[in-house]
Amino acid sequence: MKIAIFGLGYVGIVSAACLARDGHEITGVDPQEAKVELVRQGRSPIVEKHVDGLLAEALADGRLRATGSPAEAVAATDLAFVCVGTPSRRNGSLDTSAVERVCEEIGAAVAAGGRPYTVVIRSTILPGTMRNVVIPALMRAGGDRVAGLLKIANNPEFLRESTAVFDYDNPPKTVVGSDDPGTAAAVLGLYAGLPGPKIAARLEVAEMVKYADNVWHATKVAFANEIGNIAKAVGVDSWEVMDIFCQDTKLNISPYYMRPGFAFGGSCLPKDVRALTFKGRDLDLDLPLMNALIPTNARQVDRALEIIGAKGLRNVAFLGISFKSETDDLRESPQVALVERLIGKGYSLRIYDKNVHLARLMGANRAYIEGVIPHIADILSDDLGAVLDHGALVIIGNPAPEFRTLAAKLRPDHRVVDLVRIPGLAEALGARYDGINW
């Protein structure tokens, strides 16, 4: 394909070098004359392994040009990759002005040329930027006339500097966001020879994925460093600890614990976070990430309360009160904390939880239920129908299997707040359904 690359920085030049190597004809565009001149000589404007060689080969084969003129680049190509910088402003907000300017230039050139053209944004942009900044900027010059010519996609870049060419060839995944499935498929096709999953998504999902990735990577570094700081202070080799940690691909390096939802709880996580952060204080260590875990978790209970409060319904059917389904353990259950807050605010509650009810009857957890939370024991039932009869507002606290068929048991006036994302329920209930963070 004939491809224009806007922005000859790290992302742009690596894409240019690799796409040219793979047989595409590349026109690089950058307002910095020095960068354009280097690329015209087949030399890299950045220090990055293999890029110089690939650019020199591409130049020799006639597959690489560079220009300062956006109009010239659009006229010579069918697709543009936008790889310009999106730096932080002083207040931390994202400066998308370079992306906006490039899109205005491309839109004007497409309007003048009158040919179909594909625009792929590779710069990192926040969710909503494609719809609110990029698309309006592309349309600004030509309005409806360019709208019919343009195909638009977001294709976040996952390369790491210093291993950028290797990363281009071995992406962890390739994600293309577009409103048009045909455009997403065509852009994914440019990477047909590369390994890893190829994923078409909504525009905003593609934009958000990139931030989830990078904030997660930052979280991993900060976490490993705090573990390391504690380990050193107690005379333990942090690298040995993290090496063993990383060998656990079931719970640690895995999708487990990675689904948005309600707060963590149970007999171990809160207790052990508290113990380790207390130990950190004892050792005079500053551990802001770990110290944030318990408050962040408590905030998720506040959030559930806010969502519930906004429904304006006072009679509540609370389904599932143990911190996990298929258990009767109520120790540090955030569902119990939520129920207690609701009772305190004067809501009228009935609670359904088959396992907890059974535990009470069998005596297993009876001492805890009747000693520590007698006010909850009194409103606990194993009759789902009766509990649903009581409440116009249904709160789902854990994913017990019997909740999968809940939609069929609800009255038309029931409203649902789901803390766990019961499969199919959102689709079945439409506007009567609300999830805690979906």
Ligand X SMILES: NC(=O)c1ccc[n+]([C@@H]2O[C@H](COP(=O)([O-])OP(=O)(O)OC[C@H]3O[C@@H](n4cnc5c(N)ncnc54)[C@H](O)[C@@H]3O)[C@@H](O)[C@H]2O)c1
| Sites of contact with ligand X (CB under 6 A) | 6-12, 29-32, 35, 83-86, 98, 101-102, 123-124, 157, 159, 161
Q: Which helix (H) or strand (E) holds 370?
A: helix 366-371
| Nearest approach, Cβ of residue 128 and ligand X (Å) | 15
Which CB atom, from 216 or from 256, has the smaller least distance to ligand X? 216
Taking a C-beta distance cutoff of 8 angstroms, is the pair 333, 345 a contact? no
| Nearest approach, Cβ of residue 175 and ligand X (Å) | 12
| Nearest approach, Cβ of residue 86 and ligand X (Å) | 4
d(CA 300, CA 283): 29
Sheet with 433-435, edge to edge strand ranges = 380-381, 348-352, 315-319, 393-396, 415-418, 433-435
User: For ligand X, which residue has the nearest CB?
Assistant: 9
| Nearest approach, Cβ of residue 160 and ligand X (Å) | 6
Taking a C-beta distance cutoff of 8 angstroms, is the pair 18, 168 a contact? yes
Which position has the token pair 């959102």? Answer: 426
Which CB atom, from 31 or from 53, has the smaller least distance to ligand X? 31
How distant is the alpha carbon of residue 117 from its chain centre? 29
Query: 67 φ, ψ to 5°?
Result: -150, 160
Say how many residues make up the chain: 438
Q: Which helix (H) or strand (E) holds 27?
A: strand 25-29
Whether 268 is catalytic: yes
Which CB atom, from 152 or from 420, has the smaller least distance to ligand X? 152
Taking a C-beta distance cutoff of 8 angstroms, is the pair 208, 183 a contact? no
d(CA 41, CA 64): 10
Which CB atom, from 82 or from 400, has the smaller least distance to ligand X? 82
Which CB atom, from 8 or from 330, has the smaller least distance to ligand X? 8
| Nearest approach, Cβ of residue 8 and ligand X (Å) | 5
Taking a C-beta distance cutoff of 8 angstroms, is the pair 27, 4 a contact? yes
Taking a C-beta distance cutoff of 8 angstroms, is the pair 42, 17 a contact? no
CB-CB neighbours of 395 under 10 Å: 28
Closest by CA to 301, choosing from 269, 333, 274, is 333
Which CB atom, from 20 or from 317, has the smaller least distance to ligand X? 20
| Nearest approach, Cβ of residue 85 and ligand X (Å) | 4
Structure tokens at 198: 């190829």
Beta bridge partners of 433: 416
What is the set of active-site residues? 268
